[in-house]
Structure formats: C-alpha cells, structure tokens
Structure 1
Amino acid sequence: MRVEMLMFFLGIFFFGPVAIIYMVVSKVEPVGTTAFLLLAGMCVLVGGYLWILGRRVDKRPEDDPFGEIKEREGQLGEFSPHSWWPFVLGIAVTLVFAGVAIGRWVIVFGVILGIIGLIGQLFEFSRGIHAH
C-alpha cells in the first residue's frame, strides 16, 4: 500500500500549487479554483485512507521490492466470464449524463435502466449457469 499512498500524497504537491497559480493567473475564477482545491483535497482523502489501511493490513507481495511474481499466484477474485450488465450500466450512465444536455426526461430513462442494470449485476450469480 505504500506505493499507492505515496502516489496520492504526491498529488497534493502538484494540485495545491497548481490551484494557487491558477487562482493568481485567473484572478480568482471560482469554478477552476474550486476544482483544483477539491482535487488536492481528494488526494488527501485517498492518501490518508490508504495510509490508515496500510497500517492495518499485512504486507502484500507487491509491497516487497524483491518480491517474485509467483508469490502473488492463485485466485484473485471471482469474475463473471461474460456479463452484459456492465454494458447496461454504462448505457444508463450515458443516458443520465446526456439527459443534462438533451432534457430531463432522458434522465428518467437512464435512472430506470440503471436500477435494472444494478439489480442484474447484483443478482447475476444467483440464477442461471453461474448460480452458487
């Protein structure tokens, strides 16, 4: 977790100065300044979370600088071999964001499709050939 934590904490040293420079150059333009400050804050949140999590969990094989690939072999998780639900959820998110530009009625269809896709994704392993 150390590498991931450092990557996010280094984002503070980039986005913080960029926010200050942007604030000076744009004469305190509110949207961009807020966005850069929020980016720096999000780096603090994620880096802090990874720091706390890294103290609680044991060292992973990828944290060892002299680690071998064979130390990380085995099952990493359970993944669906051919799921269409992520595609359905992607279309739903696209409809919601397009609804902002097209009209609010499109957002309704996106939310309905998103609920259907989320239920399908959650219960994918409850029925059919991949049921547990």
Structure 2
Amino acid sequence: MRASAKVFWILGVFLLIVAVAYGYVTGSYEPMGVEPAGFPALLAVAGLAIMIAMGLTLAAKKNDVGPSDDLDAEVSQHGGVQGSFSPYSWAPLWTAIGAALCFLGIAAGWWIFAFGVIIGVYGILTWVLEFSVGQHQH
C-alpha cells in the first residue's frame, strides 16, 4: 500500500505542475485567456490523484505491511477472495442493457432513458437479490 501511495503522490504532484504550466501557457498566449476545459480537467485529475494518495497513506498507517510492500513476497501471498458469483446469472446482462439505454437516452431521447432506468433497476435488484430466491438461495 505504501508503494501505491507513493505512485499516486508522484502522479498527483506531476499533474498539478502540468496543470499550472498549462494554465500559464494558455493564459499568456491565448487571446481569450485560460482555456476553460483543459485547465479545470487537469486540476480535477490532480486533485483525484492526491485524494487517492491521501487515502492510501492513511490506510498504510493503520494497517500492517502488506505483501505489495515486502520485497521478498510471493505473488500467491497477495491473492485473496475474488468474489462469489452465481453461475448462469442474467442480472449483469439486464443491468448492462439498462445502462446502455440510459446513455443512449441522454444522446437520443429522454423517453429511452426512462426505459433504461426501469430495466437497470430491475437488473440491479435481480443481481442483489439473486441469492435470496431460486436455485442459489442461502
């Protein structure tokens, strides 16, 4: 975790320097001033990288040294539970179709968005509750 925190600190500081330089260059040489899309986007990405770095740094202080920080660690030490998925589940398909219709609805028409929300909610509820009913009930 410490290595990941260092990577994000370096990335955040680099992006902050690039954002300031980009803002200075566009402010100096563009007739309309600082470019209104790229400069805030670079600042936002730098801020996100710094927030991730702060979170990883705080987590590294609370937790013990993990396998990613140990130079003599094996790959198998970092493995863990990858998740539990029910076989033959249709819920991810319905959720993906709902999300696709929502994005299409934003571009093409709001009535498509409504159908996407309905199908997406059905898919999410099915996915969340699939271990509560049917063949894979616990």
Give the Cα separation in 1 of the matches to 2:95 and 2:9: 32
TM-score, normalised on structure 2? 0.79
1:54 partner amino acid: A
Structure 1 range deviating more: 95-104 or 37-46: 95-104
Matched, 1:29 2:56: no
Give the Cα separation in 1 of the matches to 2:38 and 2:119: 33
1:51 partner amino acid: T
Give the Cα separation in 2 of the matches to 1:15 and 1:90: 33
Matched, 1:100 2:106: yes
Give the Cα separation in 1 of the matches to 2:106 and 2:58: 38
What is the DSSP-based 3-state SS (H/G/I as helix, E as strand, rest coil) of the residue aligned with 1:63? Answer: coil
Give the Cα separation in 1 of the matches to 2:65 and 2:20: 37
TM-score, normalised on structure 1? 0.82
Q: Deviations over 1:59-112 (max 9, x none)?
A: 323331101234345x51432144332332222222222222112222212222
Alpha-carbon contact 2:100-2:116 (below 8 Å) kept: yes
Higher radius of gyration, 1 or 2: 2
- By percentage of residues, which structure has more helix? 1
User: Could you list the runs of 5+ residues in structure 1 that have no partner in the other structure?
Assistant: none
Give the Cα separation in 1 of the matches to 2:66 and 2:90: 32
Among all aligned residue pairs of Structure 1 and Structure 2, give the percentage whose two residues are the same amino acid. Answer: 34
Out of 107, 116, 121, the position equivalent to 1:115 is: 121
Partner of 1:64: 70
Change beyond 3 A, Cα 1:129–1:93: same
Partner of 1:125: 131
